[in-house]
Structure 1
Amino acid sequence: MLAADTAPLPRALPASYRTQNESPGGVLWMTGMSGAGKSTLARALQTQLRLRQCLVMVLDGDELRTGLNAGLGFTSADRLENVRRTAEVAALFKDTGFVVICALISPLVAHRELARDIVKDRFFEIHVDSSLACCEARDPKGLYARARRSEIPEFTGLSSPYEAPISPDLRIDTMSGSITESLATLSRFVGDHIRLARSLD
């Protein structure tokens, strides 16, 4: 059983926007290059919302490729299918009141437009922005090093393009901001744009 958060939406939002977002739940589509901080922020926000007993789910691109999207490669068609499947799942959970945090590189504008078309209302494109140099310096999974050795073909940012969002709903600069600051920015955005639903269990 769900209970919708009764806190009023900010008065700064136009009436048409408030009407569109009366239902609880939404999709945060977090795009950015490998190492930008998408998964770290997604998990941190998930933890924060769970502490408030909010309905929240993370769909992480790397994890999905071990199950739902196993068998998909990194060709143009496979990348598009990866996004399509993820967006379909996100839409289902959004419609039951969940905040769905999708952490996928989704490198092309066309990928994110497809996701938005599938999810429809309450879809928010979040650009987790960091330079290639910064991402490569972090390289938490050693992927850039492997790509430089030609062990990973079609690697985004090196041998495959990344098209940064032109007008994202939110841009988070993880080069200059700390994880704490970035999470605070993301949390404020959620509070301003998504009506939360809580579990009564």
Structure 2
Amino acid sequence: MNKKNITWHEGKVMKADRQHLNGHKSALLWFTGLSGSGKSTISVEVEKALYELGIHTYRLDGDNVRHRLNHDLTFSEEDRKENIRRIGEVSKLFVDAGILTLAAFISPLKADREFVRSLLPKGEFIEIYVQASVETCANRDPKGLYEKVKNGELKGFTGIDSPYEIPASPEMIIDTEKQNIEESARQIVDYLKMKRLV
């Protein structure tokens, strides 16, 4: 496709207008961490709490997105990068729509997370590192993936034989070895209130 034939078409309703209509700011809460750390579970709880406060939200989950939008991608290094690129662009659209967006993706590489951050204005990307050791995640093993790794059925698994780059300075750290789901969700909602996003 020749990109010279593509023109950006501006509208008359801007993000600020949508935020005003909704009665709150929009931003992207980016949950990152190992498989089994609690990203998806906490994002579900946070979305429920925000809904009860009357906040317009949408939640994007790694596994859910791979069922449809990214069903054509494998777990190769190149496709993992493309997975995050696509969801970053989709998240940007949701934020532009005035929606407080929650995205739960392992997103193991700092460069990929920083790419998503670069898509949004300062203050609209909130990196939430959901912290738990490999040992803890393996003991939880909600999807049975660590067992498959142990049995040699799964290769290139993040945290085992594929790297996970711990965020150097995330906006928030949620330690799921020390606090439960409700406490974790409350910490995030309190942060959003403090930043006057909700």
Q: Which TM-score band (shorter chain)?
A: 0.7 to 0.9
Query: What is the CA–CA distance in structure 2 between the aligned matches of 1:3 and 1:59, rounded to whole Å?
Result: 20
Q: 1:116 & 1:93 partners in 2: Cα distance?
A: 14
Note the C-alpha offset of 1:96: 1.5
Corresponding residue number in structure 2 for 1:43: 44
Instruction: Give the conservation status (yes or no) of the 8 Å contact 1:128–1:173.
Output: yes
3-state secondary structure, aligned to 2:75:
coil
Alpha-carbon shift at residue 3 of structure 1 (Å): 3.3
Q: What aligned pairs does 1:46-125 form with structure 2 within 5 A after superposition?
A: 46-121=47-122, 122-125=124-127
Letter in 2 for 1:161: P
What residue identity is the alignment partner of 1:188?
D
**Residue number in structure 1 paired with 2:174:** 172
Superimposed CA distance per residue, residues 47-68 of structure 1 (whole angstroms, 9 cap, x where no aligned partner): 1111222110110001101111
Q: TM-score, normalised by structure 2?
A: 0.86
Corresponding residue pairs, total? 178
Report the TM-score, using the length of structure 1 for normalisation: 0.85
| Partner in structure 2 of residue 155 of structure 1 | 157
C-alpha deviation, 1:194, in angstroms = 5.0
CA contact (8 A) 2:27 2:101 kept: yes
Residue 130 of structure 1 corresponds to 132
Q: Does 1:3 align with 2:4?
A: no
CA distance in 2, matches of 1:66, 1:192: 35
Cα RMSD for the two superposed structures: 1.3
Q: Which residue of 1 aligns with 2:13?
A: none
Q: Is the 8 A contact 1:29 1:123 kept in 2?
A: yes
Query: Match of 1:186?
Result: 188
Deviations 1:50-95 (A, max 9, x none): 1222110110001101111112111111111000110111111101
- Unmatched runs of 5 consecutive residues or more in structure 2: 1-17
| SS, match of residue 22 in structure 2 | strand
Q: How much does 1:101 deviate?
A: 0.5
Structure 2 CA distance for partners of 1:146 and 1:180, relative to 1, 3 Å: same
CA contact (8 A) 2:45 2:182 kept: no
Matched-pair contact (CA < 8 Å) for 1:26–1:194: no
1:125, distance to aligned residue in structure 2 (A): 0.7
The answer to whether the 8 Å contact 1:58/1:102 transfers is yes
Instruction: Find the aligned partners of 2:195 and 2:62 in 1 and give their Cα distance.
Output: 24
Instruction: Note the alpha carbon deviations across 1:21-41, whole angstroms, 9 max, x for none.
Output: xxx100011100000000000
Q: Alignment partner of 2:78: what SS?
A: helix
